[in-house]
Amino acid sequence: MSLSKSEFLNYILELLSDQDAISARAMFGGYGIYKYGQIFALIIHDELYFKVDDSNRDYFINAGSEPFSYERNGKKYYMSYYNAPSEIYDDPDLLNSLVEGSYQISLKAAVRALK
């Protein structure tokens, strides 16, 4: 997809327009995507990444998705976000399912962080 950063963000927000309380904030040279103020996805370099854990990681791996990674001081770091499979752009039900799953994972992680 060859869109500018803001065009891709707007495209994703349009796809998510039937979801409640979706917002975006600039971060790390990209955007965090939030539902009810809880981050559940990232947009980095024209790529959408969903929050994952053991409950959904296999789905993303089997779909050919890769984890978001970055390098710092010559070392590669991986985050618990995997890029979205291309099918989500044509399948609103799949998109909504992934949003809800990643949102729930993010909520669980936030509760664990408070303990």
Report the mean per-residue pLDDT for the chain.
92
Of 25, 19, 20, 92, residue with least CA distance to 9:
25
Confidence category of residue 2, pLDDT binned at 50, 70, 90:
very low
Render pLDDT for 41-97 as a digit per residue (tens, 0 to 9). 999 988 999 999 999 999 999 999 999 999 999 999 999 999 999 999 999 999 999
Confidence category of residue 5, pLDDT binned at 50, 70, 90:
low
Of 2, 90, 83, residue with least CA distance to 49:
83
The reply to whether the predicted model has a pTM over 0.85 is yes
Whether residue 31 contacts residue 43, with contact meaning beta carbons closer than 8 Å, is answered with: yes
Where helices occur in 1-115 by DSSP H, the ranges are 5-15, 57-62, 92-114
**What is the dihedral sign for C-alpha 105, 106, 109, 110?**
negative
* Whole-number percent of the chain with pLDDT over 90: 83
Radius of gyration of the chain (CA): 14
